[in-house]
Structure 1
Amino acid sequence: MVVSCFLDLASNLSWQYQSQIPLVDLSKPDSRHIIVKACEEFGFFKVVNHGVPLESISELESEALSFFSLPMSEKEKVGPADPFGYGSKGIGPNGDVGSVEYLLLKTDHSFNFHKLPQTTEKFPSAVKDYVWAVRKMACEILELMADGLKIQQRNALSKLLMDKQSDSVFRLNHYPPCTELEEASGHGGEGSRIGFGEHTDPQIISVLRSNNTSGLQISTRDGTWISVPPDHTSFFINVGDSLQVMTNGRFRSVKHRVLANSSRPRVSMIYFGGPPLSEKIIPLPSLLAKGKEESLYKEFTWFEYKRSAYSSRLSDNRLELFKRVAASS
């Protein structure tokens, strides 16, 4: 069973287990070990005692709900997404399943907030405060990962998010009740509807928080879908494709999707921590030196991978194109 992978930690670490989702308490000194195990087995975990002020969370959710409640004519003034701005209904140009409206923003605050309706005048400051706090938490988690992996340079990962050229983005998603969605047969079981189709995130790390509405599911190694119980006071962390490469496959990016709720709208906020566009995405040298002498992946920049990822279908295994081909015997 998946649980058995963590039983050896339970007696002396702050490990808890809820609905098969690893739980990490950032206030505990040995959380780095649980983070590493969770990234190896799931590529996903829940974070509590995260240090992000609840008032920042509540204020941004309120502003987001106000924006998505506006008439379509008002919201469309902030679009079409190119890629930043307001987008609706279609997930991508490649025929992917799903229905969602969203607002995609830059994290360097160069987005033109003046395009937002005057009724959302508090929006810019709410986004700024929230993103600052969440990025700080993401960097703390990446440094705990480095500790757990015994990487001497503790900021080997976090420095990429703190770089002024970091290509991190912030996205607000709104999923209406499923009465507005079409049936998506073959996805998620009988009677379910897809809000966002299955995919992995291409960046290094994703920090997700949603309102108290269910819908998020992750896929385990054997392909089983697990529903993630909603918790509006906690955060959920996804390992991205780039982090999988940087750990030479030791951490696995998690495939996930969103099912629409039958009666309640779902609002999610995702910080996608990405490196600078010119950054080479390669395994960390210290990890290659520990028994994995050869990289499993070809060398590429974040720009090259991002361009490839966003021209593919959501459900594609995007890293397949970048794997090294084993020499034939």
Structure 2
Amino acid sequence: MVVLAKAELEQIALPAAQPPMADVRAVDLSAAPGPDRAAAARTLVAACEEQGFFRVTGHGVPQELVRAVEAAAAGFFALPQAEKEGATGEPVGYGCKQIGDGGDLGWIEYLLLCLTSAGTVPAASFPFSTLPCAAAAAATASLSEPCSPLRELLEEYAAAVRRVACGLLELMAEGLGIEPADTISRLVADAESDNMLRVNHYPPAPRPEQQAGRLLTGFGEHTDPQIISVLRSNGTTGLEIAGRDGAWASVPPDADSFFINVGDALQVLTNGRFRSVKHRVVVSSERSRVSMIFLGGPPPGARLAPLPQLLGDGGGRSRYREFTWMEYKSCSHRGRLVDDRLRPFEN
């Protein structure tokens, strides 16, 4: 349950607005080698240059798995507050209303999972073994086993979506003419990669706020720090992206596609050719929104700088100095969501 004091609600209140629908490019990840794959790579590169945001079809993640995870997550967030808070512990954490350490608030509760390179959470340190089984979700999805704990569903889902992220990064390398093809994807696939899975729940806005004609901030405007983010929701509106002119546009819900964000680290690797997209979530629906975001980051010690292949034969100017992923995280740890976290690393 998300509970905020009146002053906190005022802090996250937004004026009612109806931004236009975003025109989101689609990239077919199932395109076979040849002209179709080359066209998909060109579309991907154009989308990253224009918006830093696109949607993926042909991703191969079974819809029954997605539905089961969404239902199991919704079941978890429906538990009594004491049970949800009792699930908190490394490497998994339950949080409510507070986002990060910089003082940002939102109409949100969430689960945050640290992942291994295989896309799973170490079972020995996972405190969810006592959570109720997602029996209803499993039955709805016609899974082979009659009872799938939330932990197991999240592990399977994370592994599947991580494969999507790596496939996209390889297609991206093809579109940019970068060799080898795994130049970027191996940063997400490494045994030490800093990958995370975030499951967000945005309850319906409290009635007094709806009557006042205002919206609430679910997750304030920000860019994602990592290389790539793979997101999907339960078909509910609320996600908005900012264009190059700063104007907000609403992302139409899509029951079949995944949405992809360019992250700060990818902006650095492409020397600013790709821009990490600024986005936010606005609570404007009477229906709960559940979203799941895979955040693919590099290993802590990975050194990040513009890729030489993208600086040109003449050794073009690098917009960013070299730094490690751990340096970046240490520098931005206590910042606000809206901060430009890359500024300290610009040349």
- Aligning the two structures, in what range does the TM-score lie when normalised by the shorter sequence? 0.7 to 0.9
Distance 1:263 1:285, change over 3 A: same
Matching residue of 1:110: 122
Whole-angstrom distance in 2 between the partners of 1:84 and 1:128 = 12
Residue 125 of structure 1: how far off its partner (Å): 1.6
Given that 1:27 and 1:49 are in contact with CA atoms closer than 8 Å, whether structure 2 keeps it comes out as yes
Matching residue of 1:232: 255
Q: CA-to-partner distance for each residue in 1:153-176, whole Å, 9 max, x for gaps?
A: 100011111110001111100000
Which amino acid in the other structure matches residue 180 of structure 2? Q
Matches within 5 A, 1:119-134: 119-120=132-133, 122-134=149-161
Distance 1:323 1:22, change over 3 A: same
Matching residue of 1:276: 299
Residue 87 of structure 1: how far off its partner (Å): 0.7
Which residue, 182, 190, 204 being the options, matches 1:177?
A: 204
Whole-angstrom distance in 1 between the partners of 2:253 and 2:198 = 18
Matching residue of 1:23: 26
Residue 115 of structure 1: how far off its partner (Å): 3.9
Aligned-pair identity (%):
51
Distance 1:153 1:75, change over 3 A: same
Q: Which runs of 5+ in 1 are unaligned?
A: 1-17, 325-329
Which residue, 27, 38, 43 being the options, matches 2:52?
A: 43
Residue 299 of structure 1: how far off its partner (Å): 1.2
Whole-angstrom distance in 2 between the partners of 1:25 and 1:274 = 23
Q: Which runs of 5+ in 2 are unaligned?
A: 1-20, 32-36, 134-147
Residue 122 of structure 1: how far off its partner (Å): 1.4
Which residue, 33, 38, 63 being the options, matches 2:72?
A: 63
Q: CA-to-partner distance for each residue in 1:34-70, whole Å, 9 max, x for gaps?
A: 0000000100001111111112111111110111010
Matching residue of 1:161: 188
* 1:213 maps to 2:226: no
Whole-angstrom distance in 2 between the partners of 1:198 and 1:207 = 17
Residue 116 of structure 1: how far off its partner (Å): 5.0
Distance 1:55 1:241, change over 3 A: same
Matching residue of 2:218: 195
Residue 99 of structure 1: how far off its partner (Å): 2.1
Whole-angstrom distance in 2 between the partners of 1:114 and 1:84 = 7
Secondary structure at 1:75 match in 2? helix
Secondary structure at 2:107 match in 1? coil
Whole-angstrom distance in 1 between the partners of 2:290 and 2:255 = 10
Whole-angstrom distance in 2 between the partners of 1:312 and 1:193 = 21
Whole-angstrom distance in 2 between the partners of 1:84 and 1:248 = 33
TM-score (norm 1): 0.87
Q: CA-to-partner distance for each residue in 1:142-201, whole Å, 9 max, x for gaps?
A: 001100000021000111111100011111000000117969x9xxxx722110000000
Given that 1:202 and 1:309 are in contact with CA atoms closer than 8 Å, whether structure 2 keeps it comes out as no
Matching residue of 1:262: 285
RMSD, aligned α-carbons: 2.0
> Matched residue pairs, number?
301
Residue 289 of structure 1: how far off its partner (Å): 2.4
Given that 2:101 and 2:335 are in contact with CA atoms closer than 8 Å, whether structure 1 keeps it comes out as no
Whole-angstrom distance in 1 between the partners of 2:61 and 2:41 = 19
Matching residue of 2:83: 74
Higher normalized contact order (CA 8 Å, seq sep 6+, divided by chain length): 2
Secondary structure at 1:212 match in 2? coil
Secondary structure at 2:98 match in 1? coil
Which residue, 63, 81, 88 being the options, matches 2:96?
A: 88
TM-score (norm 2): 0.82
